[in-house]
Amino acid sequence: DSGVTQTPKHLITATGQRVTLRCSPRSGDLSVYWYQQSLDQGLQFLIQYYNGEERAKGNILERFSAQQFPDLHSELNLSSLELGDSALYFCASSAYSGANVLTFGAGSRLTVL
Partner 1 sequence: DAKTTQPTSMDCAEGRAANLPCNHSTISGNEYVYWYRQIHSQGPQYIIHGLKNNETNEMASLIITEDRKSSTLILPHATLRDTAVYYCIAPEDTGRRALTFGSGTRLQVQP
Question: What residues make contact with partner 1 under the rule CB under 8 A?
Answer: 2, 4, 33, 35, 42-43, 45, 48, 55-56, 58, 88, 90, 92, 97-98, 100-107, 109
Nearest to 34 by CA among 101, 82, 78, 93: 93
Nearer to partner 1 (CB atom), residue 72 or residue 89: 89
Whole-angstrom Cα distance, residue 53 to residue 112?
Answer: 30
Can you name the residues that pair with 37 across neighbouring β-strands? 43, 88
> Residue 108 half-sphere exposure, CB side, CA atoms within 13 Å?
26
CB of 27 to partner 1, least distance (A): 17
Residue placing its CB nearer to partner 1 in the complex, 79 or 109? 109
Tell me the closest approach of the beta carbon of residue 16 to partner 1, in angstroms.
Answer: 26
